[in-house]
Every structure is written in structure tokens, then in C-alpha cells.
Amino acid sequence: MTGGAVNGSTGARDVAVVAFAQTVHVRAADNLSEVEMLMPVLREVLDRTGLSAGGIDFTCSGSCDYLAGRPFSFTMALDGVGAWPPISESHVEMDGAWALYEAWVKILTGEAETALVYSYGKSSAGDLPEVLTRQLDPYYVAPLWPDSLSLAALQARALLDAGETDERELAGIAARSRNAAEDNPWAQLGGSPGADALLESAYLAMPLRLHDVPPVTDGAAAVVLAAGDTARRLARRPAWIRGMDHRIDAHSLGVRDLTDSPSTRLAAERAGLFDPGAPPPGLAELHAPFTSQEVVLRKALRLGADTVVNPSGGPLAANPVMAAGLVRIGEAAARVSRGEARRAVAHATSGPCLQQNLVAVLESDGSEGGGGGKGVGQGQGTGTGEGPGTGEGPGTGQGEGGHT
Amino acid sequence: MKAGQRRQPQSLSHLTGRHPPLNAVPSPRVLSAPLVVEFPFTRSLGPVQSAFLSGLRDRTVLGVQASDGRVVVPPTEYDPVTSEEIRDLVEVGQEGTVTTWSWNGSPRRGQPLRHPFAWVLVRLDGADTALLHALDAPEGPDSVSTGMRVRIRWAADRAGTITDIACFEPAGDSFEPAGEREPATLPEPHTGEFADPVTGIVAPARLDYTYTPGRAQSRYLDALATHRTLGERCPRCHKVYVPPRGACPTCGVPTGEQVEVGPRGTVTTFCVVNIKARGVDIDVPYVYAHIALDGAGLALHGRIAGIPYDQVRMGLRVEPVWAESGRYPDHYRPTGEPDADYETYKELL
Amino acid sequence: MSGQTRPGSGKEPVGVVGIGQTKHVSARRDVSIAGLVREAAARALQDAELGWADIDAVVIGKAPDFFEGVMMPELYLADALGAVGKPMLRVHTAGSVGGSTALVAAGLVAARVHRTVLTLAFEKQSESNAMWGLSLPVPFQQPLLAGAGGFFAPHVRAYMHRTSAPDHIGALVAYKDRRNALRNPYAHLHEEDITLEKVRSSPMLWDPIRYSETCPSSDGACAMVLTDRAGAARAPRPPAWVHGGAMRSEPTLFAGKDAVSPRAGSDCAADVYRQAGITEPRREIDAVEMYVPFSWYEPMWLENLGFAEEGEGWKLTESGATELDGDLPVNPSGGVLSTNPIGASGMIRFAEAALQVRGAAGAHQVAGARRALGHAYGGGSQFFAMWLVGTEPPGT
């Protein structure tokens, strides 16, 4: 980059995640419209912070028309916010993690003290791997309709060929993720028979098996951000955003080294993850929909054994496209707020084979205990008591979903 | 980690139904319907892509020389490092090396082959980047490997699209010449000029969705089947929404209490439509109106008939006319009542 | 928490130092999507005398992806826009997106996250068909209309009823904007033989809206380079300074909505005026680029934006005040009525306002323009984005 761009880790103001809510993620929330799916998480973060839509200074959402097959679908989702009197509001056609980034910048300008961020997606409406082909180069690639699963498998093969991983490690990532998800009541899939048993299964897209692949998920998430003392007032243990940055790589797979993610590394550097003297993060929430992508991200983020990866189960346990990245930030923030880690890194991705990546470094104040009071996550302290989400969706068991 | 902060493990099966329903009013059934989004997109190519695709039609593969000397295939209009415009085209080989691959056991609609095949990234001889395409490997995945040599299989009918390459096929271990040239001579400068160049492609795209309107709309549609219009009242501001969309948009809370409105209403404003639109099977001219049904907090949209179009006016009182079939009123017609006073509907435009 | 307070708190002033547009036409058959956006971006860079490497981040906007049939096309455009290794954001706020995109980009500079940002908006409507893209069938809904004209025509009628405006006002606006477009080499419609009579006798499409009172469907892109004080000091040409910018949204449809003069629009304008220290917009603003896709929206927005009292907007139009040589020129570029690559239309408004205060608007320059308003709206008259730009740095 040209000189002088301000480092993402030295924001002029302290900004924190003060509330996070997500739906119970399901294979198909087909009894609900998007706004019906979204509204409970909006209400939950607002109620928990005691704010109304009008009391929020800036609102930003992330969603994608192509998921549901309807142009302007975000205009209908706005009905769930209660945007009256009119609100200062924006929308990105990106994962909600980037909506959070836009809101963070808005607070950094000083124009806002608080921000509401939300995103949602009903991947069940279409054939997701096919829908995602429409993201690809419209002249040279999209006419071949290469599904997202096949492209991820190309990346996995490149990693295997380079000796960066093996199929057992990938199965281990799957088992670890889905076992972790058993502790996550919002996850779609949970539990695993273990790597040995997983390796017995057939290939879905060689070299990927079903366990390497995320489920198809409907879901939504919402976050409230606040600056400085406002954050301290709204949450007992805010999760401070120490730095945040995002970068994009070249689009074409044929010009990229698929075993690496330079954009993730650069974003992490700019977000302050590698700052001299900074301790390694206690936990990482990585938006790695495929097991093999976790391998790439761990390398780019220089994560070692002292970092717990995806304690929520990650996108292998629930992958609500357009919200999955925001969920990573929310999960990391909630865990930092609960005291599970003093420092955490959250990551979001977009595009084929990790083309675009966002990294946020979150920290707690550290010193005092975190028990009681208003935490960031759900089910903590003064929750609303009302269920957060789409509880009526059909139950989904292990092995269901996937891109099959 | 703090003891006691952590959530207890729970069985996922206990979660379904754990939460109270969103609305007080249950819906007997939730609707869904297929939604097809389909269009033949017309894409103009610009100079570099035009040369590449014209080349494929003529069984020639072009790349472009980047500022750092690399040959980019398929070629872009811009340098991968400096982003400056690049135009120095070169011809590359029709054989190449697989740089990575995956096996596609169940091909999908639109993909290059109907039987199982491998997706491959192929670095053609003379190129420094790889091209994505299909590899026909009839002997299955065991016959595919990174580093294997493959060659282009041209489509019989070529029109100047990426599918002019039907797929790749194994080229064996031998290092065969590509076309009439020795690989060693490639890449070779090329003017990019072809007779009757391809300047555009038509890219048909069809996606099939299942549309689910959700609970509130399903309740509304159910009632319409019995020719009743049910709005829903916001518990906070008490306005009645017709059609209900699940949320009171000003309060951001679910609407629940069902309220029958109409059947009569007032034309609050309208326009006369004089042009026929695709997908709208109504003869022009016709009147498209905002109609505030009695008891509703806002207007819905409908067609006015049973009166000459040039006599429709704001304030006209109307009632629905149902056709034999059809989910909605076919149109609304005048009731014969005196027109409503502007003051009574000015908030309902 | 250690609060790292930067010296010189408050927002960084934002200057527009580069502006580029394509020549807008109904179909740019000679370029790819990448070629179209690069053309605008390269012109903006050239105007700023900067190269691709001088850009820290790219913020791109466009209307629905269905128009081109490319989902999240910024992914494919990353290389074309020199964004590899940089942050790239994609904004979508319906018709206001061009304006929102510029504001998001300005925020990055104002927050001192980046120093120099390229912002760009585009639409290549010839890849599909705007009617199709705007009116995809939705199951369970009654197909009554297609396209935007029928949607907005009832609101125009409501305005006419409310204000007792005479029928000919819309034609005056269209006649003015089409004549202004003749002075703008980038405008799509160049109707050399336009007359008021031709506008008034053009076919009535969605009564009360006539054919000549509607916007075209265009292929086009618009780009701007935004930078901080240091960047502006190095700029080869005078910058336009951002004095205020805001977005406001309200729901699509709701009980009590005023679709003729939406509160989101007037609130947005009030916020911008407050930031810019404007108390009498009619007197203090020298030129306005407002989003007028159908002619009657000029008088409607004149009221909504505080240039005229309620019910008086049409009188301002009728008086000639909004003509290029009037005391409040509106859409000297020819406006959306002459050029409409949907996703870019809002950014063109913002860019044209900036051109005016830079004194760089060429044949459609408003003499002595020092403060100009750029305005965009979208959705069901519910999303608003505006900025006020000036010749002087803010606070001077």
C-alpha cells in the first residue's frame, strides 16, 4: 500500500461489541420470511442494550439479493428494524462482517456513538453451490457453472499436493468443530463420531468428504457496537475492537496460490494481530466453510497451539451465508466478554476460495471478573427471556445438509 | 475461561420448539412456490476478451503479456500487478499441465460434461497462469493427478465462448506438439485479429428458487381464498397493516392480531397505465390505484375497472370484484357511494 | 482501556480531487463490465494525476446484481479496479446507492482509516433489461405493473392534487434538463431538436407521466478520488470539499407514510445543512444535482429539501429559477432525466455537484458556484443520500 494509510489498529476511538444475538440456525427456515427470521435477533440486541432503533445512531446491514432470488430484498428486511422516525442507515451487498466494518468506521468518524449491525440469509431458497457460480468471472468461468464445492475441492487438492495437510487432519478439523458445536445451542450440526469414522465415508467432491463441507443454513445475526464510555454503560464487559481490516485477492483461481491467503495475512497485520509484544489470541473464530480453508487461515493468521479455533463449531456447524462472518465476530466478542479469552481474533470471508478476508482483533478490559451483569452474548445476564430465533425450524441432525 | 459462564451442553433436538412462536396467531400452513430467475444476459466483451473468444472459435488460444513478463491465460484487459491496460497478445499451446484438480461425481446443470469428470486448473504451455475447465477422465479419479499432461478437446460447434473448449482430455505422458507448433516456440506474439470477430456472448442463466412468503403473508393469503381481507394490527402503534408483512415497519415488532378490513375502500391515488408490460396480462389502458380498504392503516394496490379509465378519481369509493379463479380480486369497481373527502384519506396515500 | 486519542481530533476534511465518467449511452457494446468501470476510474485518476498504486481502498456501488446477472460483481472486478491487496467495499442501497457509496468512501477518509480512496458506481443495463431486473415475478403477488414509472406516477398525481400544480410543470422540467444535457458531453440523451411542444405531445405512459418526462436506461460508470488535506494539497486541480453528508432511510410502505415528501428526505437534508452550516438553502446553495427520474420529482424535491415551502415547489420551477441561468440551477448536467445508469446515477449527482464547485463543469458550469448539493434517493422513496460540497475547505 502506499504510505500513510492509517493502521487499522490505531483507531481514534475505542469501539466495542456490546451485544450479539443469532438465530438458532436451521437447514430451512421455510416457515418464515426473511424479516420474520431476522426480527427476533434485532429485538434481542436492542432490548438487551435498552436501545430503540431511534436511539441507535447508525444502522448497517449485509445481505445478498441472489440468495433469495429477489432484488432489493434488504428493503423488506428493514421492516424489522422499526426505522421510524427515519434512521441513518446503509447496506452492503456483503457478509454482515463488512456491514460491521462500515459501522465501525462510522463510529470512528465521531458521527455515531452506537451502531446496529445485522445480516441474514436464507440459503435454502436456492441451490446454494449453483447460486454461488454467479459470483464468478462472467465471461470465462460462470458459463461453466463450477459449483462452490468443486472449487473448494481444487483448493483442498492444492493443499494436499503441497503437503500442507492430509485427509486425516481435515477429518480432525471436522470432528473438533462439530464436537465443539455440541456446546453451542445455536448451531445447526453438532457431534461427531471422530476422525477415524469420518475417513470411512465416501468422497463428496474428491478430496472432500461430507464432513469437510458446511451445511446449508438459514439464519440471521445482529450486533450492537458502541464507543468508549457508551460501551461501558451498555455492557458490563464490552469486547473492544482493537483493530479491524479487510483485503481482497485476485479473483481468478488460476492466478492465485490457493494454499495461501495473502489478503488474510495483510488484514491481520493491519488489524494489529501481529503487533510486537501482543500475546497470541486465546481463541479464533474463523470463517472457514471448508475444513481445508481452516488450514490456509491458521497459516495466514499464524495461529499456534495456544489458540482455540472455532469453539462455537464455526461454519462447519452452521453456515448462514451473509451472516456467517458476522457470527464469527459476535461469537468471538461474546466469548471475550464471558472471559473465555482476553484476546480473540475473528475472521470473515467472501468470494471463491477465500478471495476476500476481514480480520478483527477483540479484547476485554481484562482485569476484573466477568461474572454477572450484561455480557455481550446471548443467554447472559439480562437476556430477554424470549427465545432468540427460529426455534421452529426443522431439526437437523449430523450428516444432513451439506451441499448434496 | 470462567466456570459457570459456559453454557451447558444441550441436545439439539431439544431446541426445536423451545422458543415460543413469534406471533400469537398460529398459521395453519405455510406456503411455498417455485420462483425461476432466468435471463439470457448479453455480454459485450471488449478488445482482449473478444480476441480470446474469437481465437477459441478458430481453435487458437491467446494469452496476454503482463508487465512482469508473465503470460496470463485466459487474458485480462489489465495487468495483474500494476492494473495498467495491457494489450500484448500472444498465442500459447493447446496442451498443458494440471496444477490442481477435484473430482465431480455428479455433474450439475450447465457444467461442461454430463458424466462424472474432473475440474482442473490447467497451465497451458507458454502460460504462467492457469485456466479452469473440465477434464474428461473416463477412467475415473484414479487416472487424474496434479502434474498430468492434458490437451484441449475442441467443441464441434464453436461460437466464441469458453465452452468452445468442450473440455480437456489426458494427453498421455509424452510431450506432444500442440497443434502445428512445437511448445518450445510458444508463446508467440499474436495480433489478436480474426475475421468476423466475436464481440459479445449470450450467457443464459437460470436459477431455481423456492419462495416462502412466511407466516404473516400465508395467513393473509389463506383468508383471501375465502374472499376476506385480513390485516394485522401492530400491538404498539395499533395501525392495521394490509397486506401484513410480518412486522410493523415503524415499530419493528411482529404484528399478530388479525383484523378484517374492507371489503370496500377508497381510491387514494392512481395512474393510468398506457403501456403494456411483459408479464402483466392486462389490456391497456387501465387504472392502477392505491386503495385504502375501510379499516386499513395504509393503501394496497389494485386495478380499477367498471368505470371509464378517464373518470377514475381520487376519493372514488370501490369494492372488490372476484373472478372465478385467482388469488386476488380481479379488480375493484365503483360502489356508487359519494366520493370520500380528501381529509379522510390524505394520510393513506 | 487505554484511549488512544489522536492529535487533532474531529473528522479529517475530505476533498474530491478526481472525477471521471463514461460517455453514457444505452448500450456500450464495445467494452466489458471491467472495461466500463476502468474507463471511469482511469479518468478520475487522470484528473487527480494519480496512479492505481496511489489508491488505498476501493468502495464500489451498484443497484441490484440481477441487472448484469453477476452476483457481487466487485469480486470479479477486484483486479480490474486495482484493488488486489487492498480493502474493497460494496454498497447497495437501491437507487440512492451511488450517493451512499460516495459517503461510505468519504467516511473512510474522514475517520482517517485511509488517505486516498477510489469510489465508483456503475450499471451496465444493456446486459439485461431494466424492466426485467426491477420486476422479477414474485409468487403469490399480483402482477399489476412493471418498471418504476407506474410505481411513482400515483405519487406524482398525489403531489399535483395536494398543491394544485398546473399540468405543464413536469414538461418544463423535462425540457430544461434535456436542454442542459446538450451542454454535457457525457450525458446519454442529446436531443438536439428538443422543444417544449415535443415534450408536451409525447405519449402518455403512466398518466400523469409522459414519455419525455421519464429517464432513459443507460450503460455508464462514474468514479471519484477522495482524499485528505495532505492529498488535496498535492492535487493538481482545486478540490471540492465535503461540507456535509448524510443518509436517511425509512420503511418502504407504512401507515402514515408521505410518499410525496418523505420525512427521510427532509431529515437527511436538514442533517447535511446542519453539518455545513447552511440555514437558508435557497440563498446559500448555488447549484443542485438532484435525483429526478421523472420530471415532477423536481418540484417535489424542491419542497422536500427545503428550497421551497410546502406546495410552492412547482412555482419555483415555473419561475425559471431552476434553469441553468436561474438563481437556483437544478440539474445543470441534464440530470437523471438525461442519463440513468441506475447504480451510478446517484454518484453522478454527487460528482456533478463537485464539478460545479471546482469550476470544472465546462459548458454546463453554473457561474460562480461555490456550494452545491448532490442528492440521491431510492427504493420506494425511502433511501436518501446527500452531500454538500464547497469550494473552500470546511470550517473556513
CB A199 within 8 A of CB A291: no
- Structure confidence at residue A238 (pLDDT): 97
User: What φ, ψ does residue A331 adopt, rounded to 5°?
Assistant: -60, -45
Task: Return d(Cα A155, Cα A138) in angstroms, integer.
Answer: 21
DSSP tag of A394: P
Please state, for a pLDDT cut of 90, what percent of chain A lies above it: 84
Q: Kindly tell me if the per-residue pLDDT of B23 is higher than 80.
A: no
Instruction: Give the contacts of B48 (CB within 8 A, at least 6 positions apart).
Output: B64, B75, B76, B77, B86, B87, B89, B192
Average pLDDT, chain A: 90
> How many angstroms separate the CA of residue C79 from the nearest CA in chain B?
7
CB C352 within 8 A of CB C336: no
Q: pLDDT for A169-226, tens place per residue? A: 999 999 999 999 999 999 999 999 999 999 999 999 999 999 999 999 999 999 999 9
Q: Which of A101-115, A191-205, C129-143 has the lowest mean pLDDT?
A: C129-143
Give the mean pLDDT of C134-147: 77
- Structure confidence at residue C144 (pLDDT): 80
Q: Kindly tell me if the per-residue pLDDT of C4 is higher than 60.
A: no
**CA nearest to C222, candidates C308, C320, C98:** C98
Please state, for a pLDDT cut of 70, what percent of chain A lies above it: 88
- Structure confidence at residue A398 (pLDDT): 33
Please, what is the Cα angle at C314 between C313 and C315, to 5 degrees? 90
- Identify the helix (H) or strand (E) that includes residue A116: strand A114-122
Residue type, C392: E
**CA nearest to C290, candidates C215, C353, C204:** C353
Q: Kindly tell me if the per-residue pLDDT of B326 is higher than 60.
A: yes
**CA nearest to A27, candidates A148, A123, A119:** A123
3-state secondary structure A269-322: HHCCCCCCCCCCCCEEECCCCCHHHHHHHHHHHCCCCCCEECCCCHHHCCCCCC
The C-alpha cell that represents C248 in the structure block: 436517511
Neighbours of A204 (CB within 10 A): 20
> How many angstroms separate the CA of residue C342 from the nearest CA in chain B?
17
CB A222 within 8 A of CB A61: no
Neighbours of B5 (CB within 10 A): 18
A-chain CB neighbours of C64 within 8 Å are 65, 71-72
> How many angstroms separate the CA of residue C325 from the nearest CA in chain A?
35
A-chain CB neighbours of B209 within 8 Å are 68-69, 125-126
Q: Kindly tell me if the per-residue pLDDT of A56 is higher than 50.
A: yes
Q: Which of B168-177, B289-298, C221-230 has the lowest mean pLDDT?
A: B168-177
Q: How far is CA B225 from CA B219, B221, B246, B275, B328, in A?
A: 10, 7, 19, 30, 8
Q: Kindly tell me if the per-residue pLDDT of B207 is higher than 70.
A: yes
CB B335 within 8 A of CB B264: yes
Q: How far is CA B53 from CA B47, B85, B157, B200, C36, in A?
A: 10, 19, 13, 9, 19
Q: Kindly tell me if the per-residue pLDDT of A400 is higher than 60.
A: no
Distance of CA C210 to the CA centre of its chain: 23
Give the mean pLDDT of A348-369: 88
The C-alpha cell that represents C34 in the structure block: 471491467
Task: Return d(Cα C119, Cα C48) in angstroms, integer.
Answer: 13
B-chain CB neighbours of C205 within 8 Å are 273-275
Q: Kindly tell me if the per-residue pLDDT of A372 is higher than 70.
A: no
Tell whether B252 is within 8 A of chain A (Cβ).
yes
Q: B185 falls in which pLDDT band (50, 70, 90)? A: low
Domain boundaries, chain C: 15-127+217-233
Give the mean pLDDT of B148-157: 98
Give the mean pLDDT of B293-302: 96
Task: Return d(Cα A248, Cα C89) in angstroms, integer.
Answer: 10
Residue of chain C with shortest Cα separation from B267: C154
Q: Kindly tell me if the per-residue pLDDT of C112 is higher than 60.
A: yes
Domains along chain A with CATH numbers: 15-127+215-363 (3.40.47.10), 128-212 (no CATH)
> How many angstroms separate the CA of residue C326 from the nearest CA in chain A?
33
What homologous superfamily is domain C15-127+217-233 in, according to CATH?
Thiolase/Chalcone synthase (3.40.47.10)
CB A343 within 8 A of CB A9: no
C-chain CB neighbours of B327 within 8 Å are 140, 142
Give the mean pLDDT of C25-48: 98
Q: Which of A10-19, B315-324, C173-182 has the lowest mean pLDDT?
A: A10-19
Domains along chain B with CATH numbers: 46-198 (no CATH), 262-348 (2.40.50)
Q: B175 falls in which pLDDT band (50, 70, 90)? A: low
Instruction: Give the contacts of B326 (CB within 8 A, at least 6 positions apart).
Output: none
Please state, for a pLDDT cut of 90, what percent of chain C lies above it: 90
Average pLDDT, chain C: 95
Q: Kindly tell me if the per-residue pLDDT of A104 is higher than 80.
A: yes
C104/A71 touch (CB, cutoff 8 Å), yes or no: no
Tell whether B187 is within 8 A of chain A (Cβ).
no
Q: How far is CA B128 from CA B119, B120, C4, C206, in A?
A: 19, 15, 47, 56
DSSP assignments along B175-204, one per residue: -PPBTTB-GGG-SEE-----SS---EEEEE
Residues in chain C: 396
Distance of CA A231 to the CA centre of its chain: 22
Task: Return d(Cα C293, Cα C339) in angstroms, integer.
Answer: 9
3-state secondary structure of C288: strand
CB A40 within 8 A of CB A387: yes
By the 10 Å C-beta count (0-12 exposed, 13-18 middle, 19+ buried), C32 is classed as buried
Task: List chains touching C (3+ CB pairs under 8 A).
Answer: A, B
Q: B173 falls in which pLDDT band (50, 70, 90)? A: low
B41/C69 touch (CB, cutoff 8 Å), yes or no: yes
Interface size A-B, in CB pairs within 8 Å, comes to 264
Task: Return d(Cα C14, Cα A105) in angstroms, integer.
Answer: 15
Q: A396 falls in which pLDDT band (50, 70, 90)? A: very low
Instruction: Give the contacts of B157 (CB within 8 A, at least 6 positions apart).
Output: none
Q: B256 falls in which pLDDT band (50, 70, 90)? A: confident
Please state, for a pLDDT cut of 70, what percent of chain C lies above it: 97
Largest CA distance in chain A: 58
CB A295 within 8 A of CB A164: yes
Q: pLDDT for B91-148, tens place per residue? A: 999 999 999 999 999 999 999 999 999 999 999 999 999 999 999 999 999 999 999 9
Task: Return d(Cα B83, Cα B64) in angstroms, integer.
Answer: 13
Give the mean pLDDT of B71-97: 96
Interface of A with B in 26-45 (CB under 8 A): 30-36, 39-40, 42-43
Q: B277 falls in which pLDDT band (50, 70, 90)? A: confident
Give the mean pLDDT of A20-47: 95
Q: Which residue has the cell 442519463?
A: C339
- Structure confidence at residue A10 (pLDDT): 44
> How many angstroms separate the CA of residue C285 from the nearest CA in chain B?
32
User: What φ, ψ does residue B84 adopt, rounded to 5°?
Assistant: -70, 160
B-chain CB neighbours of C253 within 8 Å are 249, 298
Task: Return d(Cα C261, Cα C314) in angstroms, integer.
Answer: 13
Q: Which of A63, A248, A253 to probe the C interface (max C CBs under 10 A)?
A: A248
This model of the complex carries an ipTM of 0.96
Helices A167-180 and A291-301: crossing angle in degrees, nearest 10, is: 90
